[in-house]
């Protein structure tokens, strides 16, 4: 092969790589408006792949009917109830804000009752900190409630005006989920073959990715739903208004490491105590500490079976960063990126150690034989 031919081949290869990068970037820009629906469709297809396989066996290998029935089950069991609960939560939120506007809590009387029951040292500390001016605090809270009502109304109008966009994204997600359920394994194998890394490394990254998806959705999502449901039942027993709203908030807080479901049931329990509902407050706090907090330790090993290997502080930072970057989808996207990041560096370290070990064995063999091994 001549030098000119080699240069021509190199130029053609470089030109093709440039075209590949440009086309890939254009493709990413085009599908970006539907990035979140595509993400959730892919995650749902991964999680419900066992359901599709079961349907496929029952239907004797007919892939289209199996995917369609799987999608119907997902819609009836997951999506439909979630939409119904979401509408109830919005309704309860509006009712709660309206009630707080019409009948704001008398924080001054509540503060006086708690303040007088404190020891003298605590009262002096409160006075020095400036927290004794409860009237000013109450005015600020009432202003916050008024602003919250306006914000909720504005968001409701925004949601109504964006209904077409929402249903379009929802339809795209369902449509893509159908094909990912049917062809997901084949698409995955094609991607692994096309990735420009060793097949062994690609397989390990794929295995790690699937493990993180399983841990994030099964281990975190299901546990959060269980904790939210337990909190909802406890608040119904305690007679807390808008119990479903607080239960959903508890499930959302349970997705965030460190804070957890205690970010909801603990303030509710303390509020019940200071408002004079003693047995309800004690029940809420005890139930939260004993039952709700224990659900994570009991259910996660059963659902996941093994740890994801991601430190809690990294999960916290990436979850909050993901929420700030892409909204609610960041709850899932943040830990996924963190897991792949740690897995990639771990694989790099293991590959380097394996190469060093192979080099040492080769050096020992050369020293023992007195000459380099013949290839």
7 in a structural domain: no
Is residue 272 domain-shared with residue 167, that is, in the same domain?
no
At which of 194, 229, 249 does a domain end?
194
Separation between Cα atoms, residue 48 and residue 297, nearest integer Å: 24
Model confidence at 258, in pLDDT bands (50, 70, 90)?
confident
Is 211 in the same domain as 243? yes
Amino acid 375: pLDDT: 45
Q: How distant, in Å, are the alpha carbons of 136, 146, 216, 252 from that of 141?
A: 9, 9, 36, 24
Identify whether 98 is part of a domain. Answer: yes
Q: 51 or 165: whose pLDDT is higher?
A: 51
What pLDDT does residue 141 have?
A: 57
Same domain flag for 207 and 117? no
Q: Same structural domain for residues 95 and 151? A: yes
Same domain, 184 and 216: no
Asked whether residue 27 is assigned to any structural domain, the reply reads no
Position 348 in a domain: yes
Task: State percent of the chain over pLDDT 70.
Answer: 76
- Work out how many domains the chain is built from and give that number: 2
Q: Is there a domain that residue 230 lies in? A: yes
Residue 233's pLDDT is: 92
Q: Are residues 107 and 227 in the same domain?
A: no
Quote the CA–CA distance of 325 and 267 in Å, as a whole number.
28
Residues 313 and 366 placed together within one structural domain of the fold: yes
Cα–Cα distance measured from residue 234 to residue 280, given in angstroms and rounded to the nearest whole number: 9
Task: Quickly list H helices, 134-194.
Answer: 134-161, 163-194
Separation CA 230–CA 292 (nearest Å):
7
Note whether 181 and 206 are same-domain residues.
no
**At which of 138, 163, 194 does a domain end?**
194
Does residue 322 fall inside a structural domain? yes
- Tell whether the model's pLDDT for residue 323 goes beyond 70: yes
Query: Residues 261, 224: one domain?
Result: yes
Question: How far is it, in rounded angstroms, from Cα 227 to Cα 329?
Answer: 20
Nearest to 170 by CA among 53, 36, 67, 263: 36
Give mean pLDDT, residues 352-363.
76
List Cα–Cα distances, 23 to 31, 32, 134, 194, in angstroms: 12, 14, 61, 16
For residues 174 and 223, state if they share a domain: no
- Higher-pLDDT residue of 171 and 305 is 171
Residue 274 is assigned to a structural domain of this protein:
yes
Q: How far apart are CA 319 and CA 253, in angstroms?
A: 11
> 188 and 307, same structural domain?
no
Q: Tell me the pLDDT band of 283, cut-offs 50, 70 and 90.
A: very high
What is the per-residue pLDDT across 177-234, written as a single tens digit (0 to 9) for each?
898 888 888 887 777 777 777 777 777 777 777 777 777 777 778 888 899 999 999 9
Question: What's the pLDDT at 38?
Answer: 86
- The model's pTM is 0.68
Among the three residues 194, 223, 245, which one is the final residue of a domain in this structure? 194
Residue 145 has pLDDT above 70, yes or no: no
When pLDDT is cut at 50, 70 and 90, the band that residue 132 belongs to is low
Regarding whether 172 and 317 lie in a shared domain, the answer is no
Question: Does residue 69 register a pLDDT over 70?
Answer: yes
Domain range for 344: 198-375
- What value does the mean pLDDT of the chain take? 77
Nearest to 218 by CA among 255, 269, 183: 255
25 in a domain, yes or no? no
């Amino acid at each position: 092969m001549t030098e000119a031919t080699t240069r021509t081949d190199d130029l053609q290869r470089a030109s093709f790589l440039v075209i590949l990068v440009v086309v890939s970037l254009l493709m990413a820009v085009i599908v970006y408006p539907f990035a979140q629906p595509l993400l959730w469709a892919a995650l749902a297809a991964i999680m419900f792949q066992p359901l599709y396989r079961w349907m496929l066996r029952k239907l004797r290998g007919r892939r289209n009917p199996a995917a369609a029935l799987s999608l119907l089950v997902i819609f009836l069991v997951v999506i439909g109830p979630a939409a119904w609960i979401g509408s109830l939560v919005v309704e309860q939120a509006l009712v709660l804000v309206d009630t707080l506007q019409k009948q704001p809590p008398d924080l001054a009387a509540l503060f006086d009752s708690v303040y007088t029951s404190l020891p003298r040292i605590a009262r002096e500390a409160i006075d020095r900190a400036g927290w004794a001016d409860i009237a000013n605090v109450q005015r600020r809270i009432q202003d916050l409630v008024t602003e919250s009502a306006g914000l909720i109304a504005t968001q409701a109008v925004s949601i109504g005006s964006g209904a077409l966009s929402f249903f379009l994204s929802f339809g795209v997600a369902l449509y893509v989920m159908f094909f990912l359920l049917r062809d997901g394994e084949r698409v995955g194998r094609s991607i692994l073959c096309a990735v420009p890394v060793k097949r062994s490394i690609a397989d390990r990254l794929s295995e790690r990715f699937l493990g993180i998806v399983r841990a994030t959705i099964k281990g975190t999502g299901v546990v959060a739903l269980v904790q939210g449901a337990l909190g909802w039942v406890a608040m119904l027993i305690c007679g807390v208004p808008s119990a479903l709203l607080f239960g959903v908030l508890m499930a959302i807080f349970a997705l965030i490491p460190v804070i957890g479901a205690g970010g909801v049931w603990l303030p509710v329990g303390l509020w019940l105590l200071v408002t004079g509902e003693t047995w309800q407050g004690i029940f809420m706090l005890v139930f939260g500490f004993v039952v709700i907090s224990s659900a994570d330790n009991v259910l996660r090993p059963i659902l996941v079976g093994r740890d994801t290997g991601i430190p809690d502080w990294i999960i916290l930072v990436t979850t909050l960063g993901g929420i700030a970057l892409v909204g609610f989808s960041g709850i899932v996207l943040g830990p996924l990126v963190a897991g792949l990041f740690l897995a990639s560096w771990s694989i790099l370290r293991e590959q380097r150690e394996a190469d060093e070990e192979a080099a040492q064995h080769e050096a020992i063999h050369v020293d023992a034989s007195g000459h380099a091994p013949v290839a």
